[in-house]
Structure 1
Amino acid sequence: MAAPSYNLVTGAVVTAQEALDHFATSLGCPERHQSPASASGAELWVATAITTADEDRDTAAYMGMTEMLEATFVPHKSLDADAEELAISRAIGAIAEFLEVHPGPQAIVFDDIGFRILLRRFEDGQMKLDETLLDPENLNSGGSFNELARRYQAADLGHLEL
């Protein structure tokens, strides 16, 4: 079974390499690869790409964009549940930081299991966390998402429907 991935989609406000540099630095991923643009560290692997509406019509239509920055974060399968929770919270924290540094169009972060939206930047720039991230029975058993909850309002963000 493949490890779950967590995916960012936003407007192409920077190059894929610039986004990768931010995430690799923020998440301590020293191993870099050029094709595809990716990096890995002790906890996870991250890849970035710029995609167009021709390459991903459904997502482009959902987001109302013709060019998108997409980033994928995959925790290593070798992590135990607590370490995976921490890796996911660090990845979502790095994404939120990226979105604050690079204001622009709306953005979503979703998982590839149920396509649950976990973080969303709305068109007005406001960011919200999905309330399931704060559930100790879900991904917050160790309290890894509590810091993000202090910074962003929690709400039911629903699922990505393409």
Structure 2
Amino acid sequence: MEQPRGGWEPIALAQDQVGFEPSTYWVGSGKAVWAAIIATLFGALGIWAMASAVERHGLSGQSMLGYLLIGIPFLTFGAFPVGALLLLCRSRLGKVVTLTASAVMAVLILLVVLKERFSGRVVGSFIPLGLIVMAIAGLTASKSTKRWLARG
């Protein structure tokens, strides 16, 4: 008899009872995979956007503060694909890196929104960024991702 892929496989409990046991060769977490995909795309597009902004506007860190203002977003955007790769390898470090990058990015977005708001500019363009970061954090911190990492 051919066994189904994934799901539940029948096992014999007693002579006349049939039970089901979870399969051992497929335990998936769509949430973890989606978190990794979104984090990879977000990080890659963020690095590209930062690099084009630095090239276009000639931003250069002439002081330590300038280097921090340019370097922290670069490192944060770079942490997203690294955390995503580790997450796909079922490493708990991937979860930590992705959640840490999400937290740092949320703080950076909040700081930029506050700065722009006090300057009298419209800050609606940062709402999608915040939603993406919240989606990555929520998918990464979900219970199914935790179970998926524990089974790996």
TM-score, normalised via structure 2 length: 0.32
TM-score if structure 1 supplies the norm length? Answer: 0.30
